[in-house]
Structure 1
Amino acid sequence: MPEDPALPRSVSHPRYGRLQFAAMGASDLDAVVRIEEAVYSHPWTRGNFQDSLYSGYQAQTLRDVHGELLGYFLVMLAVDEAHLLNISVAALHQHQGLGRLLLDQASATARQRHMRTMLLEVRESNQHAAKVYRQYGFTEIGRRKNYYPAANQTREGAIVMSLPL
């Protein structure tokens, strides 16, 4: 993804100080996959991330001043809709407002590219994330049965949410 000077590249955080957004690249994937595997029961694979980058999806990382990867997001743009495919904060840095910063940046990225709506799916069991999305302004627009893989070869439903941009 080319750098876009209209989007914030650096933000201030009360705990972490200056944080930097940057386009996700192949060199980020080892750290991204480590976070993914630590925070999800059914994580994306390195190949999933590589395919997303190759497809030109909007993918950004968030790092502290020491270069530590704190989080990332991937958004697929289609016509006038942005689909938030993945958003993650490293386990040790959750509940510090970093998810909101990532949502801000993902939304700004989509608006800059003239998207009108952002969509996402969240596991029905992930009530904390669903609450964060609702507080951000997302509303539930539907459900997808058996959308996610779950324990013991079962499936779990997804809540589909939408945010006007």
Structure 2
Amino acid sequence: MAVLHARCFAGAPRPWAADEFSALLAARGSFLLSRPEGFLLGRTVADEAELLTLAVAPEARRQGLGRDLTARFATAAAGRGAGTAFLEVAADNRPARALYAGLGWTEAGRRPGYYGAGRDALVLRLAL
């Protein structure tokens, strides 16, 4: 997972390390949805869910994998008792924003400088 994450988030401040993935997967409420070309890591706490990260191999993009994993996340989170889901996405990441908007995610806030100087994050919300 860490290798694919590094390939997908090379422009991010820092891709996640293998031990970070291990810790997240071991945490209560965390769940993984995966396919050979990508994965999504989420978690639920009480009645809320968070999409922690979505990674799709660059050569497998624009084939519906991200859409499939994100839709499966919503179903899995609702099945775990969540009524609302949240995620952060870079404000300048137009492809990801289009994916989420197409699945019904709406802007709930902004975190200035979340991804480093000048790179804001949008907080998106989805009613499950």
- Report deviation, 1:76: 1.6
User: 2:53 aligns to what?
Assistant: 86
Distance (whole Å) between structure 2 residues aligned to residue 78 and residue 145 of structure 1: 25
User: 2:119 aligns to what?
Assistant: 156
User: 1:98 aligns to what?
Assistant: 65
Flag as ranges the 4+ runs of structure 1 deviating above 2 A: none
Q: Secondary structure at the match of 2:95?
A: helix
Listed as ranges, the matches of 1:133-152 within 5 Å are 133-149=100-116
Q: TM-score, normalised by structure 1?
A: 0.71
Which residue among 54, 60, 65 is the counterpart of 2:33? 60
Larger Rg: 1
Which structure has greater strand proportion?
1
Between the two structures, name the one with larger relative contact order (CA 8 Å, sep ≥ 6): 2
Distance (whole Å) between structure 2 residues aligned to residue 123 and residue 44 of structure 1: 16
Q: Secondary structure at the match of 2:87?
A: strand
The residue identity in structure 2 corresponding to 1:126 is N
Q: Secondary structure at the match of 1:146?
A: coil
Q: TM-score, normalised by structure 2?
A: 0.91
Distance (whole Å) between structure 1 residues aligned to residue 72 and residue 16 of structure 2: 21
The residue identity in structure 2 corresponding to 1:52 is L
- Report deviation, 1:155: 5.3
Distance (whole Å) between structure 2 residues aligned to residue 144 and residue 124 of structure 1: 9
User: 5+ residue gaps in structure 2?
Assistant: none
User: 5+ residue gaps in structure 1?
Assistant: 1-31, 63-68
- Root-mean-square deviation over aligned CA pairs: 1.2
Aligned length: 124
User: 1:43 aligns to what?
Assistant: 15
Distance (whole Å) between structure 1 residues aligned to residue 71 and residue 97 of structure 2: 16
Q: Is the 8 A contact 1:35 1:91 kept in 2?
A: no
Could you tell me the percent identity over the aligned residues? 32
- Report deviation, 1:60: 2.1
